[in-house]
């Protein structure tokens, strides 16, 4: 079975947890977009009613508008019932993940922190024995003084790559910030590293999601597994 089919299975399984009247966080990325489309289909069919969404990126906002999903904001709804989002790497034993491969990590984390349930949907290729083994940690930094942040991250042991867009220019997030992809290798203590990054002025967010994930939905050739923390 191809990866797209696995992603779709995981996303559609997660949408099965949505109930009418909920405020739903709409995740960003190639797996989460299947959830957005399934949610829209259920709304059109009348199987769900009264749903409002909070998108994690301007790209998802445009997609949701086009599909007819009513949108709201955290100013209007401070608590999100559940969010369905993807991940770049998942450590099952600790329910920690790396996110931000699509560049929406700051908004994704804001939405996750406001969610009663943060449901991560992945295919089994995203599973890892330790975060950092398969994927770099995206770090969103202010454009001012970003070189100082790069040196700080190198001091912590990372190999740094300034993310570029399709035209070879520095990639800018929805907030107009730069993203440094930081290869730390396998991370022995993700929570301790997250704390170091959180304390640094100029680092606006990072892709280590610690103590935020409540559910993980994994699709592989045997079917779909649902794990809860």
Q: What CA–CA distance (Å, rounded) separates 183 from 82?
A: 30
Residue with tokens 């508008």: 65
Question: Are the C-beta atoms of 215 and 228 separated by less than 8 Å?
Answer: yes
Spatial CB neighbours of 148, under 8 Å, sequence gap ≥ 6: 202
Question: Of these residues, 63, 108, 118, 205, which one is catalytic?
Answer: 108
HEC secondary structure over 40-87: HHHHHHCCCCCCEEEECCHHHHHHHHHHCCCECCCCCCCCEEEEEECC
Query: Is 38 an active-site residue?
Result: no
Q: Which residues are catalytic?
A: 108
């Amino acid at each position: 079975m191809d990866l797209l089919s696995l992603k779709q299975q995981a996303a559609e399984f997660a949408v099965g947890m949505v109930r009418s009247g909920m405020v739903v966080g709409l995740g960003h990325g190639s797996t989460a977009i299947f959830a957005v489309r399934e949610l829209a289909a259920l709304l059109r069919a009348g199987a769900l009613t009264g749903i409002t969404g909070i998108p994690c990126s301007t790209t998802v906002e445009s997609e949701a508008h086009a599909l007819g999903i009513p949108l709201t904001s955290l100013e209007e709804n401070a608590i999100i019932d559940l969010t369905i989002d993807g991940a770049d790497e998942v450590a099952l034993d600790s329910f920690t993940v790396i996110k931000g491969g699509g560049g929406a990590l700051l908004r994704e984390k804001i939405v996750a922190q406001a969610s009663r349930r943060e449901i991560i949907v992945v295919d089994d290729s995203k599973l890892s024995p330790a975060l950092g083994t398969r994927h770099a940690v995206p770090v969103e930094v202010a454009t001012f003084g970003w070189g100082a942040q790069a040196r700080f991250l190198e001091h912590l042991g990372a190999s740094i790559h300034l993310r570029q867009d399709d035209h070879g220019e520095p990639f800018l997030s929805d907030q107009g910030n730069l993203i440094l992809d930081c290869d730390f290798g396998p991370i022995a203590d993700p929570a301790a590293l997250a704390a170091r990054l959180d304390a640094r002025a100029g680092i606006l967010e990072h892709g280590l999601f610690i103590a935020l994930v409540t559910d993980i939905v994994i699709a592989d050739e045997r079917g779909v597994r649902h794990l809860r923390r």
